[in-house]
Every structure is written in structure tokens, then in C-alpha cells.
Amino acid sequence: MVSYKELGLVNTREMFKKAMEGKYAVPAYNFNNMEQLQAIVNACGKSGSPVILQVSSGARKYADSTLLRYLGQGAVAMAREAGYQIPIALHLDHGDTFELCKSCIDSGFSSVMIDGSHHSYEKNVELTSKVVEYAHKYDVTVEGELGVLAGIEDDVSAAEHVYTQPEQVEDFVKKTGVDSLAISIGTSHGAFKFKPEQCTKNDKGVLVPPPLRFDILEEIEKRIPGFAIVLHGASSVIPEYVDLINANGGKLDAAVGIPAEQLRRAAASAVCKINVDSDGRLVFTAKIRETFAKNPGEFDPRKYLGPAREELVKMIMDKNANVLGSAGRY
Ligand code: G3H
Ligand code: 13P
Ligand code: ZN
């Protein structure tokens, strides 16, 4: 048993309390490798932003779960040595079984998500309650989910959104004891969140998606006032990076994300955590493609991963300051 507290990590309780009071959202960035982790920690350190480092099951398979955990846990020492005092949580993203959540809790994660959203309501309550009961013994915080995001969530894919039903949230929160709740109000995972035919074009020819269901969010806030809400699938799919990818041999047609103004509005509400993975992937791919296009003879990974890491720092600092509002709030 490794205690996250001994590693200098924190759970999300205090982070969310401050985010609720301060009307901003804490960023949760996914990482799969050293360069992404370095960029996240440096960017949030420079921003003075609290941060949640997210590890998915896919990331654990890709990078070796032990190695990835050590990387995440090394983030605190790395930040402190650089003079950054920001709070850092290490979080399991989309945990799908009790055993996986337990294994993360036992090995020093400070927060876990149990995603029972694909099960029946009753099974979701049962599974989430079991994880909460175990996690709270160690002061690890738990995120649950109600409603299903359209698109691909790990290996499960849903054609349509199943929006969160506000009538269920109070009962779910009360029965399970979760610390935060992921909801479905129109976001989805990946770079293709909306079909072009669902969008309109603005005067610059950019596809503008339909707005998120803020009416559902407001109804949820009324039913569980002051409770921390989480938004998954919240990448903006920043057009600048999509264009850079396409200009350097890529082919990402009709990639559309959540406009920054909508995320700002969500961050100022009960949404206390905003998940971003795809935007980081796009930045990395864009800079690597650009490096190879400029210098096809390059074969030193540091020469193409380095610029990708640098650009990721810029993107994250911009998001913290101008979209989530978390900069300077630690
Ligand atoms: O919610 C999904 C995250 O973007 C993680 O994606 O399962 O491909 O690592 P992944
Ligand atoms: P994006 O694919 O929009 O970055 O969402 C990531 C996410 O929700 C991770 O859990
Ligand atoms: Zn997610």
C-alpha cells in the first residue's frame, strides 16, 4: 500500500471547493509519456494552476502501468524542484472495474473515476458505491458518471448522447457518496465531436457546433447545489493545430470541438473539472509533422518530441489562463 499523501499528491476535494467558490475549473490533462507529463507540470507550474494528471486504462496498457504511475508520482518532486507549489492530483480516468480502481488506490493514486455509465442505473449505483466505500478509507476522492457521451469512450462507443437525467443526480450522489459527477450535456471524446451537418459555418468558414445543453446543467445545479460537476470530452480541437496537421501531410477533415466560450461558461458554473486529452494529442502531432516536413532527415526523437513538448506548454498555459480560468488560483 502506497499512500499518495507521502508522495505529496493531494485528492481533489480542496481543489474543487476552491474552484466552485472562485468560479473556474481545474484542468485535468491526460498523459501517456514523459514529454506530455513534463509539459503539463511545467505549464501548470508556470500558470500557477492546480492540476489533475489523468491516466486512462489505455495509457496504462501503452506505457506500462507501473512506469506511468512512477512518472505521475514524480511530478510533485519535479514541480517542487522547479519552485512550483501547485497542488497536483493523480487520477484514474474512466476506471471500469472495482479491481482497477482498487489497484490504483493501493498504488498511490489520489483520485479515481469509476465509470459505470454504460451499466443500468442500479448497477452503476452499486459499482460506484463499492468504489467509494473503499476509496474513502484512504481519503481518495471518487468521480462517478451519469449519462453517456456520444462517440468512443475507451472500447465502448455510443451513436447518440444519452443526456444526464437531472431527476437522477440527487439520488445517485446520495446513494453512492461520490465526490464529483461527470455528466453528459453534449460533449464527446476525440477530435470529431460533431458531424459537419450538425454545424453551421461562421464568416471565416469555420464549423460552429450546436451549443451544449446548459439547460440540463442548470437543472442539475439546482438539484445538487454546490456539488462538483465534471465535463469530459471538452477539447476545443483548436483549428490552428488541425490546420498545421493538414498543411503537413495530415488528413483531419471536419474535426470539430467545443468552442472556448462554451467552456468558459461551464467553468464559471458548477463545472469544477474539465478533461482535455485530444487537444494535447493534436498539438503533439502538429509539431512532429511540422518538424519532419521541414527536416525529413531528422531521426533524433529529442529533436521532434522537444518542439512538441514546448508547444504543449504554450497550449496548456493559454487554456488555463483564457478558458478554464485556473491560472494563478492555487
Ligand atoms: O476519455 C478518454 C481519454 O481521452 C483517454 O483516451 O483511452 O485512448 O487513452 P485513451
Ligand atoms: P477530449 O477527447 O475532448 O480531449 O476528452 C478527454 C476526456 O474526456 C478524458 O477523459
Ligand atoms: Zn473522458
β-pairing, 88-95 with 111-114? parallel
Closest CA to 7 of 109, 83, 134: 109
pLDDT at position 156 is: 56
Question: Which ligand 1 atom minimizes the distance to the CA of 62?
Answer: 9
Q: Whose CA is nearest to atom 5 of ligand 1?
A: 56
Q: Is 91 in the pocket of ligand 1 (CB under 6 A)?
A: no
- 294 CA distance to ligand 2 centroid (A)? 30
The pLDDT confidence band at residue 195, using thresholds 50, 70 and 90, is: confident
Q: From the CA of 190, which ligand is nearest?
A: 2
Check the CA dihedral 72-100-17-182 and report its sign: positive
73 is written with which cell numbers?
Answer: 508520482
pLDDT at position 204 is: 82
The pLDDT confidence band at residue 311, using thresholds 50, 70 and 90, is: very high
Place of cell 500500500: 1
Q: Whose CA is nearest to atom 8 of ligand 1?
A: 58
- Half-sphere exposure in the Cβ direction for 116 (13 Å, CA): 25
pTM of the model: 0.97
Question: Which ligand 2 atom minimizes the distance to the CA of 281?
Answer: 4
Q: From the CA of 117, which ligand is nearest?
A: 3
- pLDDT, tens only, 162-192: 999 999 999 999 999 999 999 999 999 999 9
What residue ranges line ligand 2, CB within 6 angstroms?
Answer: 30, 93-94, 189-190, 232-235, 275-279
Share of residues in the chain with pLDDT > 70 (%): 98
β-pairing, 207-208 with 200-201? antiparallel
Would residue 329 count as lying in a domain? no
Q: Do residues 193 and 258 make contact, with C-beta atoms less than 8 angstroms apart?
A: yes
Residues with catalytic roles: 93
Does the pLDDT value for residue 306 go beyond 70? yes
Domain of residue 242 covers 8-324
Q: Whose CA is nearest to atom 1 of ligand 2?
A: 233
Beta carbons within 10 angstroms of residue 168's beta carbon: 16
Q: Is 306 in the pocket of ligand 1 (CB under 6 A)?
A: no
CATH number, domain with residue 99: 3.20.20.70
The predicted model gives 113-120 an average pLDDT of: 96
φ, ψ of residue 194 to 5 degrees: the values are: -135, 145
- pLDDT, tens only, 23-82: 999 999 999 999 999 999 999 999 999 999 999 999 999 999 999 999 999 999 999 999
Distances 311 to 93, 234, 238 between C-alpha atoms, Å: 24, 19, 13
Separation between Cα atoms, residue 286 and residue 38, nearest integer Å: 18
Separation between Cα atoms, residue 307 and residue 191, nearest integer Å: 22
Beta-carbon contacts of 305 under 8 Å, excluding residues fewer than 6 positions away, are: 35, 288
The tally of domains found in the chain comes to: 1
Which alpha helices (DSSP H) does the chain contain, by range? 13-22, 34-47, 57-63, 65-81, 98-106, 121-137, 166-176, 214-223, 239-247, 260-267, 278-294, 301-319
Q: Whose CA is nearest to atom 3 of ligand 2?
A: 233
The DSSP secondary-structure symbol of 184 reads -
Would residue 330 count as lying in a domain? no
Q: From the CA of 233, which ligand is nearest?
A: 2
Would residue 3 count as lying in a domain? no
Would residue 1 count as lying in a domain? no
Would residue 55 count as lying in a domain? yes
Would residue 2 count as lying in a domain? no
Place of cell 498504488: 107
Would residue 65 count as lying in a domain? yes
